[in-house]
Amino acid sequence: MRDGGAAVDLDLAQVRAFVVTADRLHFGQAAAELYLTQQALSKRVARLEDALGRKLFDRTGHGVELTDAGRRFLDPARELVRAGEAAVAAARHEDRALRVSVWGHMFLPLRTVREVVAQDRDLDIELSLRPGFTAALAGLRDGEIDFALGRTHELDEPWPAGVTRRLVRLEPVKAVMSSAAALAGADALTPGELREARLWFPAPRAKVEFLRAFTERFDVPGEFGGINLGLDPFLAHLAGHPGLFSLLCADVEVPGGSGLREIPVTGPAPLYAWHAIWRTGEQHAVLPRLLAAFAAAAAAQAWLDYDPARHWLPEADQAALPGA
């Protein structure tokens, strides 16, 4: 241990490890949020304690508790992490585009990005794709991206303290099925009528929370699993299996002559929620303009309109509604 009066050069990664652990009071949850092993997290905290000459945590049977020194250190440590992130942002962001990523490619998130960019065509952004929500979170934490758009879902640990989430669009969905399906002649279908078919999607049930919630709420049979090879093989599979249907956002184009029918779902109409996520305290100059463009698009096109008498949203999405 060092002398408590000596100057100490603090390691920002160790301080961040302390702050996240203090928020969670659980090494396993903190390690998951930081994408570290528990052993690596414990080493960072131990090195910080050694540098400070003070014990910061007491281990308990169910987690950890802050010591008196830990409680005194927590608020200044938060400020140090924020200051470090702001310093990095100021150094990096002067001459580069805002790095924007999307996930959920089957629901074509780039459609929403195009409509937002139409509100401010001078936005300096650089686009990329992520394979899923957790990959987008990792990209934000690792500083690989600055902003991401897709549908978030529940995590095995609490929501990351350093990430901001905002509901930016609610989009109606349609049923897509083979032209030979028993329901294909309908002009519109209710969720209850869709019980006569089976909802299919090529992903594990746990990774398609919206579709899983839909099947559970309306008692619609579901078939999940397999390999997601993209939209064209997905549509071809539906065309060849008349007993199946799936849900896609209403504006996703289905090619003519594909042997498929697109049918609105009403009574109630399910809404697919799009969320934007970014690092809390992000300093890039383009971010406020991008958020303003999202707000302008939402206002112009009624993206956030929700009427519980006409629409259905999973409970988790209802909690994110403006004013909820």
- 1 pLDDT tier (thresholds 50, 70, 90): very low
Q: How far apart are CA 49 and CA 179, in angstroms?
A: 66
pLDDT of 2 reads: 46
With 70 as the cut, is the pLDDT of residue 93 above it? Answer: no
Q: Please, which residues bridge with residue 144 across strands?
A: none
Six token digits for residue 230: 């993209």
- 274 pLDDT tier (thresholds 50, 70, 90): very high
Average pLDDT, stretch 250-269?
93
Q: Tens digits of per-residue pLDDT, 166-224?
A: 999 999 999 999 999 999 999 999 999 999 999 999 988 888 899 999 999 999 999 99
pTM for the whole structure:
0.72
pLDDT of 114 reads: 93
Instruction: List, in sequence order, the alpha helices (H) in 93-128.
Output: 110-117
With 70 as the cut, is the pLDDT of residue 4 above it? Answer: no
pLDDT of 200 reads: 97
Average pLDDT, stretch 61-68?
86
pLDDT of 324 reads: 61
Q: How far apart are CA 38 and CA 130, in angstroms?
A: 26
With 50 as the cut, is the pLDDT of residue 268 above it? Answer: yes
pLDDT of 5 reads: 54
Of the listed ranges 39-53, 153-167, 194-208, 248-262, the least confidently predicted one is 153-167
What's the fold here for domain 95-324? D-Maltodextrin-Binding Protein; domain 2 (3.40.190)
Q: How far apart are CA 223 and CA 113, in angstroms?
A: 30
**308 preceded by cis ω (within 30°)?**
no
Single-letter code of the amino acid located at 117: V
Q: How far apart are CA 184 and CA 166, in angstroms?
A: 36
The pair phi, psi for residue 191, each rounded to 5°, is -55, -35
pLDDT of 92 reads: 61
pLDDT of 91 reads: 66
Rounded percentage of the chain residues whose pLDDT exceeds 70: 95
pLDDT of 142 reads: 81
CATH class of 12-92: mainly alpha
Place of tokens 């999405």: 317
Q: What DSSP element (H or E) covers 9? A: none
Contacts for 13 with CB less than 8 Å, ≥ 6 apart = 44
Q: How far apart are CA 223 and CA 237, in angstroms?
A: 13
pLDDT of 214 reads: 97
With 70 as the cut, is the pLDDT of residue 81 above it? Answer: yes
More confident call, 149 vs 140: 149
With 50 as the cut, is the pLDDT of residue 103 above it? Answer: yes
- Beta-sheet strands, E only, within the chain: 57-59, 64-66, 98-102, 125-129, 147-150, 163-178, 198-201, 222-224, 244-249, 260-264, 269-279, 311-312
Please state the domain extents for the chain: 12-92, 95-324
With 80 as the cut, is the pLDDT of residue 135 above it? Answer: yes
Short-list 179, 167, 148, CA closest to 320: 167
pLDDT of 6 reads: 60
Q: Assess contact for 171 and 271: CB atoms under 8 A.
A: yes
